[in-house]
Amino acid sequence: MRRDVFQAIADPTRRAIIALLALQAMTPNALAEHFDTTRQAVSKHLRILTECELVKQEHQGREIYYQLEIEKMKEIDKWLEQYRKIWETRFSQLEDVLATIKKQTDEK
């Protein structure tokens, strides 16, 4: 089953895992230490993130390290960019309105 990347990042634990992996590659055990949950639960989250291609596995000896898949994160950022531009435009418009109100208030 192909999972939707936005469903994957909707979960707060998965977002926290992404934040940790943004700093460095980590094993499931190392990740599990940061959460008040079982290693199996963390593994389930990692499986979902892997299925969505947000993280990838790298075998180093007997350990599996997970690391953030930057290109997939860029896809999310690209999708968000359209909304970021709208928000920035609206904030700029609001700033102009507030400046006008302040100017009118100062003139009185």
Between 24 and 1, the higher pLDDT residue: 24
CB 67 within 8 A of CB 25: yes
pLDDT confidence of 2, banded at 50, 70, 90?
A: low
59 and 80 part of one domain:
no
55 and 93 part of one domain:
no
Distance between CA atoms of 34 and 24, rounded to whole angstroms?
14
54 and 15 part of one domain:
yes
Q: Which residue range forms the structural domain that includes residue 46? A: 5-68
Q: Which two tokens stand for residue 89?
A: 């435009």
37 and 63 part of one domain:
yes
60 and 76 part of one domain:
no
pLDDT (0 to 100) of residue 75: 87
User: 3-state DSSP call for residue 52?
Assistant: coil
42 and 92 part of one domain:
no
Number of domains in the chain: 2
104 and 87 part of one domain:
yes
pLDDT confidence of 1, banded at 50, 70, 90?
A: low
